[in-house]
């Protein structure tokens, strides 16, 4: 789980209440200047920080004793060979990874013990794309604002969207779908989505990887400009050693250890190389422990130079507190000289719900392939049920119950009973075929719904989207599909096939089995690592429904009792069959060895399946699943 994102109250409220407490400690630590009404210096610090995992029953330090200081209005690069721990260190700072030992401070407070940054105060740009391909640039930014910023009125909302698009150079292409953007434009959009809250700490993970040199330079310049606004700190993880002159400091990692952190111009001198590109080969010539020991001996000299340069950078002054007629400051609980950014207030649950719900519908409508697939399923599956035994459809209302009085009539009745059993079997088969197709629809509904957008959801969750609200929006979206599919399947087959059961009963159990399979597959989707994995598991689950239900092929008694509680198809089939016309029900019971259950019990079990699937889905969305 995250280190502990704060979600209560408005951004800055906690800081207002505890500012003086933080100020005193920060001043004692040497990272604050002035007095309580003067300038307060934002600083990020790591003290002997470790991130350790278990491998082969041994501790492996992915981050080993990291100690660093980053002043305000600072642009820092984290560089190093592949696999040295750059992204791991960035996730530690972001709170995605939790430090095993040590401390991380922000503004003089320990984030592990005193609560993390507000979601709106931190911006995290991961390696993967965090935008929806079928939406336009402007629509993605609007969505980010709705989910992360509480605005007052349409004018304020659109002013914020325009300001973010202009600041990132995206205004000329605001109407373009994301899928047609170049790599550099997508990276700009990733930055734009984080800037909607005006974060004080902006963390970027390999946002320049894979770009051509010109695009890379443009993105680095943009990040440099962003670091100069108010007192923002921008940290960029990169493998590239180009454009280092634009950074205020460069941190070099080697095998999880910090081996340099200072001004870019001193990098060549420290490593004894002619060009920055020679640093990586130079690192390989010594053990990381030796490099770390060397850095610990020389760190103070390089830090003094770096921090002196930072102090020389002109700082923006905060708005002065209100004064009385004599010029004395008025005590104002809302004034906060530590307020470096107008970080937005996170919207409420209902605002986030409707933003997610309507965005999902917009994405669905824009996806032509999904539209065609859903229409094909909606129209084709009921027709398949009818084709299941088209010759027997007209005979479903011909159940014979004549009373024999002669030998000839007994012979005829014997044939009639045989025919009745066949008709009852046809009814049972039609019901099961409907049920199985509804489980397949449910699988298609839920299997990819969360897993398919997991990386984006994790990013939005870090930005303040509540997992329960996200899941509720998915349930509301999928409920529409479940309702339409179930009504259409039940109505179409009931009218054409004239199945001897009330429409309400048939619809109820088809709806419940569809909802059960949808929710269970949604749970699978929330637990799966990839969308393909979720789809495969969901298809396997549907595949087991028919043979393990025992409605078509009888199961051994013990196996039947062990498997049926978990087979949604059985309970739906049994519920519809129990609601059949009593004559048909008698012949269905005569023609199968499968045990029958009262319809109310069947409904209760299916509701339990739905609740179980939703519980698993909630557990899945609560659990972080970052990839890359």
Rounded average pLDDT over 65-85: 91
The whole-angstrom separation of Cα 447 and Cα 445 is 6
Please provide the DSSP assignment of 434-467 as one string: HHHHHHHHHHHHHTTTTGGGHHHHHHHHHTT--H
How many alpha carbons lie under 13 Å from residue 567 in its C-beta half-sphere?
23
Mean pLDDT of the chain: 82
Predicted TM-score (pTM) of this structure: 0.84
Which of these CATH numbers, 3.30.1330.40, 3.40.50.300, 3.40.50.2300, 3.40.50.1820, describes 13-117+200-310?
A: 3.40.50.300
What residue ranges of the chain are covered by domains with CATH 3.40.50.300? Answer: 13-117+200-310
Q: Please name which of 571, 560, 574 lies closest in space to residue 605, comparing C-alpha atoms.
A: 571
The predicted-structure confidence for 240-295, as pLDDT tens digits, reads as follows 888 999 999 999 999 999 999 999 999 999 999 988 889 999 999 999 999 999 99
Rounded average pLDDT over 443-462: 93
Query: Given phi > 0 = left and psi -120 to 50 = alpha, else beta, which region is 182?
Result: beta
135: DSSP letter = S
Rounded average pLDDT over 328-353: 64
Q: Does residue 89 register a pLDDT over 60?
A: yes
Confidence category of residue 548, pLDDT binned at 50, 70, 90: confident
The predicted-structure confidence for 175-224, as pLDDT tens digits, reads as follows 999 999 998 999 999 999 999 999 999 999 989 888 888 989 999 999 99
Confidence category of residue 526, pLDDT binned at 50, 70, 90: very high
Question: β-strand 74-79 against 101-106: which pairing, if any?
Answer: unpaired
* Residue bearing the bigger pLDDT, 41 or 514: 514
Q: Does residue 22 register a pLDDT over 60?
A: no
Among 249-258, 405-414, 428-437, where is mean pLDDT lowest?
405-414
The whole-angstrom separation of Cα 172 and Cα 138 is 10
* Residue bearing the bigger pLDDT, 416 or 131: 131
Please provide the DSSP assignment of 180-231 as one string: G--HHHHHHHHHHHHHTT--SEEEEESTTTT--HHHHHHHHHHHHHHHTSTT
**E strand residue ranges, 331-473:** none
The predicted-structure confidence for 134-149, as pLDDT tens digits, reads as follows 999 999 999 999 999 9
**E strand residue ranges, 209-303:** 233-237, 249-254, 257-262
Contact present, 515 and 613 (Cβ < 8 Å): no
**E strand residue ranges, 20-57:** 44-55
């Amino acid at each position: 789980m995250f280190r502990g994102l704060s979600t209560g109250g408005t951004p800055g409220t906690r800081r207002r209440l505890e500012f003086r407490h933080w100020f005193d400690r920060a001043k004692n630590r040497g990272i604050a200047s002035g007095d309580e009404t003067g300038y307060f210096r934002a600083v990020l610090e790591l003290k002997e920080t470790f991130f350790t995992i278990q491998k082969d029953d041994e501790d492996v330090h992915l981050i080993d004793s990291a100690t660093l200081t980053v002043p305000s209005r600072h642009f820092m690069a984290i560089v190093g060979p592949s696999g040295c721990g750059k992204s791991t260190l960035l996730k530690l700072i972001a709170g995605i990874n939790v430090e095993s030992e040590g401390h991380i401070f922000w503004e003089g407070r320990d984030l592990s013990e005193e609560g993390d940054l507000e979601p709106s105060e931190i911006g995290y740009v991961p390696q993967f794309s965090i935008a929806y391909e079928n939406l336009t640039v402007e629509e993605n930014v609007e969505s980010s604002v709705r989910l992360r910023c509480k605005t007052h009125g349409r004018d304020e909302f659109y002013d914020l969207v325009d300001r973010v698009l202009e600041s990132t150079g995206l205004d000329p292409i605001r109407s373009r779908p994301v899928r047609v953007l170049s790599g550099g434009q997508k990276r700009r959009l990733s930055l734009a989505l984080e800037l909607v809250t005006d974060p004080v700490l902006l963390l970027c993970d390999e946002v320049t990887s894979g770009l051509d040199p010109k695009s890379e330079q443009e993105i680095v310049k943009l990040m440099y400009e962003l670091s100069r606004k108010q007192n923002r700190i921008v940290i960029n993880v990169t493998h590239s050693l180009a454009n280092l002159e634009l950074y205020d400091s460069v941190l070099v990692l080697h095998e999880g250890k910090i081996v340099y952190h200072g001004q870019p111009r001193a990098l060549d001198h420290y490593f004894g190389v002619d060009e920055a590109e020679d640093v990586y080969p130079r690192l390989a010539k010594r053990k990381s422990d030796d490099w770390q020991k060397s850095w610990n001996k020389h760190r103070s000299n390089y830090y003094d130079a770096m921090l002196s340069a930072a102090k020389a950078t002109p700082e923006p002054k905060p708005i002065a507190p209100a004064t009385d007629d004599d010029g004395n400051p008025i005590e104002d609980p809302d004034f906060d000289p530590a307020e470096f950014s107008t970080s937005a207030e996170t919207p409420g649950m209902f605002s986030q719900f409707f933003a997610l719900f309507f965005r999902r519908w917009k994405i669905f409508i824009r996806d032509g392939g999904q539209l065609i697939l859903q229409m094909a399923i909606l129209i084709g599956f009921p027709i398949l049920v009818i084709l299941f035994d088209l010759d027997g459809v007209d005979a479903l209302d011909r159940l014979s119950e004549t009373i024999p009085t002669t030998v000839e009539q007994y012979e005829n009745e014997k044939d009639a009973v045989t025919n009745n059993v066949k008709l009852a079997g046809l009814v049972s088969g039609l019901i099961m075929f409907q049920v199985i197709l509804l489980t397949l629809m449910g699988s298609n509904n839920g299997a990819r719904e969360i897993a398919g957008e997991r990386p984006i959801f994790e990013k939005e969750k870090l930005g303040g989207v509540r997992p329960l609200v996200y899941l509720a929006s998915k349930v509301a979206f999928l409920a529409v599909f479940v309702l339409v599919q179930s009504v259409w399947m039940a109505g179409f087959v009931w009218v054409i096939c004239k199945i001897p059961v009330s429409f309400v009963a048939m619809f109820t159990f088809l709806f419940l089995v569809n909802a059960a399979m949808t929710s269970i597959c949604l749970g699978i989707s929330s637990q799966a690592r990839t969308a393909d994995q979720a789809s495969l598991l969901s298809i396997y689950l549907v595949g087991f429904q028919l043979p393990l239900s025992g409605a078509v092929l009888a199961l051994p008694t013990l196996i039947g009792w062990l498997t049926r509680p978990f087979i949604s198809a059985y309970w739906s089939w049994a519920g519809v069959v129990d609601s059949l016309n009593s004559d048909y029900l008698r012949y269905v019971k005569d023609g199968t060895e499968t045990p029958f259950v009262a319809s109310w019990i069947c409904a209760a079990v299916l509701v339990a399946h739905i609740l179980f699937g939703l519980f698993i889905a909630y557990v899945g969305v609560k659990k972080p699943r970052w990839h890359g």
